[in-house]
Amino acid sequence: MKLTSNILQNLRNSSFNIRETAEIDGISITLFTLCATFALILYSWKYTKSKTTKPPSPPSPPGLPLVGNLPFLDPELHTYFAELARKYGPIVKLRLGNKMGIVVTSPSTAHEVLKQHDINFANRDVPAVTKALSYGPYDIVWSPYGPEWRMLRKVCVIKMLSNTTLDSVYGLRRREVREMVSYMYGRAGTAVDVGEQMFLTTLNVITNMSWGGTVQGSERANLGAEFRQVISEITQQLVKPNISEFYPSLARFDLQGIAKKMKGLSWKIEKMLDKVIDQRLEMDGESVENNNGKECKDFLQFLLRLKEEGDSKTPLTMIHVKALLMDMVVGGSETTSNSIEFAMAEVMNKQEVMRRAQQELEEVVGKDKIVEESHIHKLPYLYAVMKEVLRLHPALPLLVPHCPSETCTVGGYTIPKGCRVFVNVWAIHRDPSVWENPLEFNPDRFLNGKWDYSGSDFSYFPFGSGRRICAGIAMAERMFMYSIATLLHSFDWKLPEGEKVDLTEKFGIVLKLKNPLVAIPTPRLSDPTLYE
């Protein structure tokens, strides 16, 4: 009986122990599971965080709610942006209303944007005002990166601006440059506005190459004057601060009427181009002779022929033909003429440079002949002058803004998709860590052939770099060199009594001299027939 009760007691105790042990194990398992789950969550949270943490946003100057940095922008954007770079570093973020702007200001960050991430940054952020131009989205400058843009660039660089085509329209360039010389000769001894004359000449040279073999005489002069007027009105609209630009959601209201005005101007251009094109089509392949009695084809003829030949994948349409002609006129005129005006101002400011350039011209051309375009490759000193001008005064100091198609990292910072990227080539060209005495105008620094502007060197790239590099380099070189060589070979230049050369710059769509260069030409060739 006792045994039985002991056994029972033992059994009770052991069952109690078993229950107790089971309970303790249950708690441990629960605790363990909880800890493991927590650790797993913590680990996966940390892992995902480390995977998704973006590099920081670039530093930014303080701004105001809604408007951001807009109220603090200085109209001289290139110098203001250079100042920001000195304070905040080579990548700066700006809030421009609802838009984000990124300013890039060093050779290494420019290299990242234009070379390493070239395709990503090959898009443009099209200004609201350009969208109002009927050919605007179809031209090279503003077309998004893709097959259409590729086709337009191919037509422009390989067909229109190839050495063969440019040689074949030399007569049309020459005609305008000789007219300028004859005008200056008529004004010898009196002050002329060099910039204005260069703009007229460059615009005439470009319109002449575009359709000068089609339209002749007074009709050509009238068309040129009309074009000048419309281009100057378009430029006025382009420089106006535009609310639609900074608050795209308000663009449809066109609060300042800028889009409406642009549409009107665009219509005028359409009418003018239609007229020239109709005239060319009526001429049916016939060519016009230039002053030398040589046959002259113009760009319009080339383009219409290409349009007829057709490419089924990405065909060249009539709107593309008009857009390409406008690219030549708008992209090429002020950029080139303002650069020539800067060159004249710098050369007049440094008589030693003027003397050396004229001496070189005398040796290569002589004083009994006129400059021809074939001379320009034999003028290394003048070529160095051109390069130095484009270093100190790049025509597009912030390039044409680029726009990334995807968010990416540059210089350790996140650059969001769709922002507007300004590359401050002006500031890079004056960087004392790259250039010795960067503010001095010294063409000699280019005589050793160290720098070229092919876009491979991110210390010197006045024409940009990468896929969107300037499409008109070949033409710009010829026009710049031919014009400046002719001006310095044909005339001596001095300022009106008591005046000093003022090299102050003014930021605009294209960089220009704040005060136009007014100078007095004195003929230096003995034979007056060389000015006819």
Task: Pick the closer one to ligand HEM by CB: 435 or 480.
Answer: 480
β-partners of residue 288 are 296
Task: Pick the closer one to ligand HEM by CB: 244 or 339.
Answer: 339
- Count interface residues toward ligand HEM (CB under 6 A): 27
Least Å distance between CB 404 and ligand HEM?
13
In terms of Cα–Cα distance, which of 220, 202, 203 is closest to 211? 220
Applying the rule CB under 6 A, the residues between 152 and 171 that interact with ligand HEM are 153
Task: Pick the closer one to ligand HEM by CB: 389 or 520.
Answer: 389
Q: Is 463 in the site for ligand HEM (CB under 6 A)?
A: yes
Applying the rule CB under 6 A, the residues between 221 and 250 that interact with ligand HEM are none
Residue range at the interface with ligand HEM (CB under 6 A); choices 79-87, 226-234, 330-338, 481-489: 330-338
Say whether 470 counts as a known binding-site residue: yes
Residue range at the interface with ligand HEM (CB under 6 A); choices 187-195, 280-288, 356-364, 396-404: 396-404
The token pair at 52 is: 């998704």
> Of residues 70, 230, 469, 501, which one binds ligand HEM by CB under 6 A?
469
> Exposed e or buried b for every residue in 362-396, given b needs 16+ CB within 10 A?
eebbeeeebbebebbeebebbbbbbbbbbbbbbbb
Under a CB-based contact definition with an 8 Å cutoff, are residues 204 and 174 in contact? no
In terms of Cα–Cα distance, which of 488, 504, 495 is closest to 383? 488
Least Å distance between CB 422 and ligand HEM?
10
Task: Pick the closer one to ligand HEM by CB: 124 or 261.
Answer: 124
Least Å distance between CB 399 and ligand HEM?
4
At residue 102, the 3 state secondary structure works out as strand
Under a CB-based contact definition with an 8 Å cutoff, are residues 422 and 103 in contact? yes
- Strand 99-104 relative to strand 420-423: parallel, antiparallel, unpaired? parallel
Half-sphere exposure of 405 (CA within 13 A, CB side): 10
The secondary structure of residue 97, as a DSSP letter, is T
Under a CB-based contact definition with an 8 Å cutoff, are residues 526 and 367 in contact? yes
> Of residues 177, 328, 385, 427, which one binds ligand HEM by CB under 6 A?
328
Applying the rule CB under 6 A, the residues between 472 and 491 that interact with ligand HEM are 472, 475-476, 480
Q: Is 404 in the site for ligand HEM (CB under 6 A)?
A: no
For 483, other C-beta atoms within 10 Å of its C-beta total: 27
Chain positions contacting ligand HEM, by CB under 6 A: 140-141, 153, 327-328, 331-332, 335-336, 339, 390, 394-396, 399-400, 462-464, 468-472, 475-476, 480
